[in-house]
Amino acid sequence: MTTSLHRGLRHLALRVMDLPRSRRFYEELLGFHPVWEPDPDNVYFSSGNDNLALHQISESERASYDPSKTQLLDHLGVILESPQAVDQMYQSIAPRIETMGGRIAKEPKQHRDGSYSFYFSDPDGNVIQALYEPAISALRFTANP
């Protein structure tokens, strides 16, 4: 068994059909609160422990959306404790990811909100973001018994 380099699945990004409707759903029904809104097509929420990003799909995508053929999951994220941990994970998996059926999708990058990450995909094409996110990376979690 490999030792885990990440702190858990504490980040999820969803592509949504109607951002105001989805925002209202996650705020009012599930109690998420917005922590960053970089533009009208994106909102990032926190529950205190987790991070949820909602991304509005474009008009052209919306017009041709077919739920039987298209997935709205943008990516899932694993949280790491520091930018250095992101780099360490990248250096650890990059040399062997293709032999395991995955690929690096985006190199490590500093983001506008202070987070730092890289993206890779699993053998089925699901995108995973290895993410340092200042608001939640410092939180400490314990395993459930």
- pLDDT single digits (tens) 66-110: 877 777 788 988 899 999 999 999 999 999 999 988 999 999 999
CB 103 within 8 A of CB 97: yes
47/39: higher pLDDT: 39
| Statement: residue 145 has pLDDT above 90 | no
| Residue 2: per-residue pLDDT | 62
Domains and CATH numbers, the chain: 11-137 (3.10.180.10)
Average pLDDT, the chain: 87
Give per-residue burial for 122-139: e unless 16+ CB within 10 Å, then b.
eeeeebbbbbbbeebbee
Query: Is residue 134 within 8 Å of residue 114, measured between CB atoms?
Result: yes
Asked whether the whole model's pTM tops 0.85, one would answer no
Dihedral pair phi/psi, residue 13, rounded to 5°: -120, 125
